[in-house]
């Protein structure tokens, strides 16, 4: 069991030392310090919550949906946000590939 824990820690160390992961953390920190980006993201989250509530109550959500799209378009006009978003997507794909590989190996040995 210790061997599995050791190998898991090695995998985590490998992920943490990956340049993509390091870039993601740097961009995330920069983005969290950007008041314009954090403000727009906060507005989007608030609007999304309101949209879900209105949708569950059967209230028309078209204007809220349009407002959310406008805010997202504002975010997509900010280079830092776009780079963060793309990097996050790449990192998620890497992590999904790692997960799939582990699942496949486990499936192979448990057949």
pLDDT at 44: 98
Are 41 and 75 in contact, with CB atoms under 8 Å apart?
yes
What total of structural domains would you count in the chain? 1
The residue to which tokens 């906060």 are assigned: 42
Q: Is residue 35 part of a domain?
A: yes
pLDDT tens column, 48-106: 999 999 999 999 999 999 999 999 999 999 999 999 999 999 999 999 999 999 999 99
Which own/partner contact pairs does 42-47 have at CB distance under 8 Å and 24+ positions apart?
A: 43/71, 44/68, 44/71, 44/72, 44/75, 47/71
Model confidence at 110, pLDDT cuts 50, 70, 90, reads confident
Tell me the CATH number at 35: 1.20.1500.10
- Which tokens in the block code for residue 97? 């590939």
Q: State the Cα–Cα distance between residues 90 and 92, nearest whole angstrom.
A: 5
Q: Is residue 6 part of a domain?
A: no
- Residue 86, SS3? helix
Domain of residue 26 covers 20-109
């Amino acid at each position: 069991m210790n061997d599995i824990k050791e190998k898991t820690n090695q995998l985590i160390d490998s992920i943490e030392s990956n340049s993509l992961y390091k870039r993601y953390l740097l961009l995330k920190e920069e983005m969290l310090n950007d008041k314009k980006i954090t403000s727009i993201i906060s507005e989007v989250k608030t609007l999304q919550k309101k949209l879900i509530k209105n949708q569950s109550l059967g209230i028309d959500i078209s204007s809220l949906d349009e407002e959310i799209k406008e805010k997202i378009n504002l975010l997509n006009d900010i280079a830092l946000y776009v780079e963060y978003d793309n990097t996050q997507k790449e990192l998620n794909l890497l992590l999904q590939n790692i997960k799939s590989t582990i699942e496949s190996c486990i499936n192979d040995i448990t057949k």
